[in-house]
Structure 1
Amino acid sequence: MMRKLISWLSFMMAFCLVLLSCVHDEIYTSSDPASKEYHSKSLWKEDEKYIKNVMKIYSEHYEEIKKGAGEPMWDYAMTMDRFYESFLMVPVAEHGKVVAVLNVPRKGQRVYFTYTQVQNDMAFFQNLMSSRLKRAETTLMDNTAGKLVCTTKTISMFYPDNESDPDGPGHWESHHVTECKSQQLESCVGEVLPDGTCLGGGGNDPGYPYPGGGGEDPQPEPYDPCEKGKDLLKPSKGNIKTLITNGMYSYINNSSTGEAGIYLKKDNLGNITSEVAPYTAGAALPIKTGGKYFSAIHTHPTDAYPMFSWTDIYALYKLEIQSAQYNEGYSSLLLVCQDDNGVKQTYVIMFENIGSYMEDVFNNPENIGCSHQEIKDRMDLILEDKYKKEADKSVPNYESAFLQVTFGTNVGLYKANADLSGFSKLEIQSNIADSIVIPINCN
């Protein structure tokens, strides 16, 4: 009897060890970056074909793609309601802590890997990976002008009033992540710091071949900002030079208040037409957006600062997200003004492919709960304060002030040459006061 008991106990111990080993292996496999197994732990339906293909590419090019600490937690990858093998975001964790989010968009037959460190996104995935009771909330989509722009996923986590009684009373807290199709970090193949700085490559990086091609191109190659500027100036395209020199220069010379403007429209064949905006007296010119409208030109009176406001940046954002699909990536906003030396200047702002986005401003903890108008007012005051300080200097540099506020973002500032035959990109090397502006000729 004793032998049977000992034999039974030995069997049970061996069985428990095997069971424990199996459990350990299952946990390890689910988080092993080299594992071929994928078991979705997302709360939503995902494009699993794309996730598995990206996992394969990551495994094959591991040494080239990996940046910094941590490994992708593929089981928590999300494709944000896009089911045509085009995009995913996956948390990168080290010892259970999310240290970055890996974004992988596909453009044509190639995919691009970008590490980001947006606190809101990392917090979302940290909670998604938590063992706490959670539930998926309604997915929100900004479908302005009939096209998908932004997708927001929200989870609610249950926090018991007493941690020792998880089934007792408590409360729910929400966390969300937002992905915007028209504003992806596509060119930076490396690591994007919280301020938008790209480390480890970008720009002309060729990406990695996507197995099977993935069908038609879901994200066309981004249109080069310099080329956009050239198209605005070409007589066969935008032909804005005459509009600026014959109309807007005269308005600035003859009116010390208000703004003049021109709206630019482009149809699906690429034909550009213009529409003269009604003059404003003592107020900012409202910018028309949506459909064919993809750009606009406006003046600043001589009693205003000769540089863009943050409201102007927001107008560019609206031009981009509300344009017709064939105008995606073509948006721009121009400013015609007179500098402190009495010289007419023409600037243009355009979205580029590296840097943080407007959504990062909206999701900044300081702006949570604020309307877009309240955020615009606050950011305008920040810029205005910069401009006021420049105005007190013997040689003010409003270009530098603007670039300091937009440093690390995907808002690019360009300046036309004297005869309006081309543009130069304006840059600063660091976000410090009195940073020297470096012009880079587009031609």
Structure 2
Amino acid sequence: MFSLCSCIREDLLQPDKTKGISSQDVTAAKYASKSLWQEDDVYIGKVQQIFLKAANLEKVKETYGELYWNYSMSFGQFGEKYLLVPVVKKDKVLLLMEAVRKGNRVYFYEKNDADLINFFQHVLYSNIISYSEVIDGAAAKSKYVCSTRTIVIGCLNGQTDCEPVSYSQMVCEWKEGGGGPPPKSFDPLGDPFSGGGGGGGSSDDGYEYPDPPEDPCEKNKQIITSPGIQNKIKDVREKADSKGR
């Protein structure tokens, strides 16, 4: 199943009000989405609070940069499970922080994907004249949800004779164990080599996630495997076998 959302900007993007603010204020400021698309705002807000509880903001600034939470993207993933946060130094997106929830734990990873980083750079700082999103809920028959987001960049600095340029990025639902090397942790303490942390966890062990939403698949599994349901299934099978004789 595909769904398409497309918008044309009648106004230019307003100057980013986070520019010029101290990095500690940017990273710690309460999340208020500036994304062009619909994001999992509940998840982003909760993840920010978990991160801030464990973080050494000055070390994070020194090691990584400023986390621009307001431009976080969940790329069509809802249910409190996935997001990407741009990490910025001197108006340059250098890295993305990936936050993945597994059950009642959330994990922070470095996402050093050049094309994705470039996409976020344009979202933050370019003259976007239109944008769209296509969501494919049956990609590759794998039950992944994939989101392809496209932006169109217009002229800069008063130019009028340039051709618009489009950029697209597709992100699919995060799945563990893709066959490659394990992702590198993004440490809230600002020490990528420590593997340690505070606030109820560590960068390797993850951090406690409050009130995780119930997994419908796990709930159905528990129902199906319950003794009462198993007895009913057994009775139905025995009746079917007796009629077949």
Q: Same fold (TM over 0.5)?
A: yes
Unaligned runs of at least 5 residues, structure 2: 1-15, 197-202, 219-223, 226-245
1:151 aligns to 2:147 (yes or no) = yes
- Secondary structure of the 2:144 match is coil
Query: Secondary structure of 2:147's match?
Result: strand
| 1:60 Cα offset (Å) | 0.6
Q: What's the offset of the Cα at 1:182?
A: 4.5
Alpha-carbon offset, residue 200 of structure 1? 5.5
Could you list the per-position Cα deviations for residues 260-283 of structure 1 after superposition, in whole angstroms to 9, with x for gaps in the alignment? xxxxxxxx99xxxxxxxxxxxxxx
CA distance in 1, matches of 2:64, 2:185: 13
Which residue of structure 2 lines up, in the alignment, with residue 39 of structure 1?
Answer: 32
User: Could you tell me which amino acid in structure 1 is paired with residue 76 of structure 2?
Assistant: D
Runs of 4 or more consecutive aligned structure 1 residues displaced over 3 Å after TM superposition: 23-27, 64-67, 182-189, 198-202, 217-220
**Counterpart selection for 1:113 from 108, 118, 121:** 108
Deviations 1:282-305 (A, max 9, x none): xxxxxxxxxxxxxxxxxxxxxxxx
Equivalent AA in structure 1 for residue 74 of structure 2: T
Change (3 A) 1:26 1:124: closer
Mapping 1:229-378, distance limit 5 Å = none
In the alignment, the residues of structure 1 paired with residue 134 and residue 173 of structure 2 have an alpha-carbon distance, to the nearest angstrom, of 15
In 2, distance between residues paired with 1:219 and 1:189? 29
Cα deviation code 1:102-134 (max 9, x no counterpart): 000101011000012110111000000014133
Tell whether the 8 Å contact from 1:46 to 1:81 is kept in structure 2 after alignment.
yes
Paired with 1:103 and 1:117, the residues of 2 have a C-alpha distance of 10
Q: Which gives a bigger RCO, structure 1 or 2 (Cα 8 Å, sep 6+)?
A: 2
Deviation by residue 1:39-69 (Cα, 9 ceiling, x = unmatched) = 2111101111111111101111113994822
The amino acid across from 1:216 in the alignment is E
Q: 1:219 to 1:68 in 2, by over 3 A?
A: farther
CA pair 157-83 structure 1, distance change in 2 beyond 3 A = same
* Cα separation, 1, equivalents of 2:217 and 2:172: 12
The answer for the alignment partner of 1:374 in structure 2 is none
Q: Report the 3-state secondary structure (helix = DSSP H, G, I; strand = E; otherwise coil) of the residue aligned with 2:87.
A: strand
CA deviation after TM superposition for structure 1 residue 139, in Å: 1.8
Structure 1's unaligned 5+ residue stretches are: 1-22, 193-197, 221-267, 270-443
Q: Please give the secondary structure, in 1, of the residue aligned with 2:38.
A: coil
Which residue identity lines up with residue 35 of structure 2 in the other structure? Answer: S
CA contact (8 A) 2:74 2:82 kept: yes
Deviation of 1:176 (Å) = 2.5
Structure label with greater radius of gyration: 1
Structure 1 pair 189–56 and aligned structure 2 pair: CA distance change class (3 A): farther
TM-score normalised to structure 1 length: 0.37
Name the aligned partner's letter for residue 56 of structure 1: Q
> Conserved in 1, the CA contact under 8 Å of 2:135 and 2:145?
no
Tell me the distance in 1 between the aligned counterparts of 2:216 and 2:91. Answer: 33
Give 1:246's aligned residue. Answer: none
Name which of 42, 51, 54 aligns with 1:58. Answer: 51
Aligned pairs for 1:399-438 (under 5 A) are none
Residues matched between the structures, number: 189
Classify 1:184/1:94 alpha carbon distance in 2 versus 1 (closer, same or farther; 3 Å): farther
Provide the rounded CA distance (Å) in 2 between the counterparts of 1:60 and 1:101. Answer: 20
Q: Does 1:126 align with 2:112?
A: no
Write out per-residue CA displacement over residues 209-229 of structure 1, whole angstroms, 9 at most, x where no aligned residue: 1122x2124899xxxxxxxxx
- Structure 1 counterpart of 2:94: 99
Q: Which amino acid aligns with 1:205?
A: D
Which secondary structure does the structure 1 equivalent of 2:96 belong to?
strand
Identical counterparts, % of pairs: 30
Q: Secondary structure at the match of 2:164?
A: strand
What do you get for the CA RMSD once the two structures are aligned? Answer: 3.8
Q: Take 1:137 and 1:152, find their aligned partners in 2: how far apart are those partners? A: 8
Cα displacement (A) at 1:81: 1.2
Counterparts of 2:26 and 2:47 in 1: how far apart (Å)?
15
8 Å Cα contact 1:152/1:177 also seen in 2: yes
Q: What is the match of residue 158 of structure 2?
A: 165
